[in-house]
């Protein structure tokens, strides 16, 4: 069952073995490159991803490809991605080359034709992006910036921004981040320990909500105000 070697033909279970090996290899390589949002891939990430995808596809539909060589090629590209991303963190010039730089499309409410042409952005598309950001009037826009990830950031003028509590001198309580204590019927003991809680306290809270155990709990969390929230299966 030497499915990783170059062969004239492969049996069905050898194709399956190749697919599984490549699947888990890609997951490992993705973990090594670091966590990113799919919609926030930089130019470098996009090129590496497309290249790795093409190489992987070729190895999974060609029995003559040597799987070890393919895995080594993917590992090399992953190492290049990690190295260049690390260098980019330290060097702004390298970062601009491989990750791109923001392009200002609107400044002080005025369209910048030259930069729009550079970004290959037409007026209709830009106005659509403004409408999606709830700024249908160009006069209400202070800045619009095309970010390196391809998304457009919009900064409205001060008079067009939504009123915030601090604008009205209203004090607010700290909200923070709620702590997940039970997820899909499983008690997250690490989260309990980090917040100086134990299972005895947790089960008392569950009983207060008419639950005998965690098995029927889809999610249970505690907010920074000490309020306990439970969602049942």
For the stretch 126-142, pLDDT in tens is 999 999 998 888 889 99
pLDDT of residue 78: 92
The secondary structure of the chain in percent helix, strand, coil, rounded to multiples of 5, reads: 50, 15, 35
Instruction: For the chain, give the percent of residues with pLDDT over 70.
Output: 97
**Would you place residue 116 in the very low, low, confident or very high pLDDT band (cuts 50, 70, 90)?**
very high
Instruction: Judge whether 174 and 226 are in contact, CB under 8 Å.
Output: no
Residue with tokens 């499309």: 105
pLDDT tens track for 147-174: 887 889 999 998 888 888 888 888 888 8
Q: Report strand pairing: 179-183 vs 217-222.
A: antiparallel
Mean pLDDT of the chain: 87
Instruction: Judge whether 17 and 1 are in contact, CB under 8 Å.
Output: yes
pLDDT of residue 1: 58
- Map out the domains of the chain with their CATH numbers: 12-95 (no CATH), 103-160 (3.30.240.20), 179-232 (3.30.240.20)
Residue among 162, 150, 148 nearest 101 (CA): 148
pLDDT of residue 37: 52
In whole angstroms, what is the distance from residue 81 CA to residue 44 CA?
A: 7
pLDDT tens track for 43-99: 788 888 899 999 998 888 888 888 889 999 999 999 998 898 889 888 888 888 888
Mean pLDDT over 7-20 rounds to 83
Q: Which residues are within 8 A (CB) of 74 and not within 5 positions of it... i.e. 6 or more apart?
A: 25, 26, 29, 52, 55, 56
Q: Which residues are within 8 A (CB) of 207 and not within 5 positions of it... i.e. 6 or more apart?
A: none
Please check the confidence at residue 195 and state whether its pLDDT lies above 70.
Answer: yes
pLDDT of residue 36: 62
In whole angstroms, what is the distance from residue 33 CA to residue 52 CA?
A: 13
In whole angstroms, what is the distance from residue 163 CA to residue 119 CA?
A: 33
**Would you place residue 40 in the very low, low, confident or very high pLDDT band (cuts 50, 70, 90)?**
low
Q: For 68, list phi and psi in degrees, rounded to 5.
A: -65, -40
Q: Which residues pair with 182 in a beta bridge?
A: 187, 220
pLDDT of residue 221: 94
Q: What is the pTM of this model?
A: 0.65
pLDDT of residue 153: 93
Tokens (6 digits) for 90: 């330290």
Instruction: Judge whether 39 and 10 are in contact, CB under 8 Å.
Output: no
Instruction: Using the CB atoms, write b or e for 59-82: b if 16+ within 10 Å.
Output: bbeebebebeebbeebeebbeebe
Tokens (6 digits) for 153: 């950031």
Q: For 54, list phi and psi in degrees, rounded to 5.
A: -65, -45
């Amino acid at each position: 069952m030497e499915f990783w070697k170059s062969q004239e033909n492969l049996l069905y279970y050898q194709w399956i073995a190749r697919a599984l090996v490549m699947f888990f290899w890609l997951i490992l390589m993705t973990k090594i490159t670091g966590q990113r949002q799919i919609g926030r891939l930089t130019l470098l990430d996009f090129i590496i991803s497309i290249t790795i995808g093409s190489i992987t596809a070729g190895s999974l539909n060609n029995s003559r490809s040597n799987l070890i060589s393919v895995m080594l090629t993917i590992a090399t590209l992953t190492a290049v991605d990690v190295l260049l991303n690390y260098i980019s963190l330290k060097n702004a010039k390298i970062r601009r080359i491989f990750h791109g730089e923001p392009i200002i499309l609107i400044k002080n409410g005025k369209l910048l034709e030259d930069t729009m042409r550079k970004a290959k952005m037409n007026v209709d598309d830009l106005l659509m992006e403004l409408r999606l950001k709830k700024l249908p009037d160009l006069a209400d826009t202070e800045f619009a910036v095309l970010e390196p990830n391809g998304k457009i950031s919009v900064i409205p003028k001060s008079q067009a921004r939504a009123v915030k509590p601090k604008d009205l001198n209203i004090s607010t309580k700290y909200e923070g981040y709620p702590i997940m204590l039970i997820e899909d019927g499983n008690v997250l003991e690490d989260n309990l320990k980090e917040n100086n809680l134990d299972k005895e306290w947790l089960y008392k809270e569950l009983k207060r909500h008419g639950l005998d155990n965690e098995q029927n709990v889809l999610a249970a969390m505690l907010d920074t105000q000490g309020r306990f929230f439970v969602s049942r299966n």
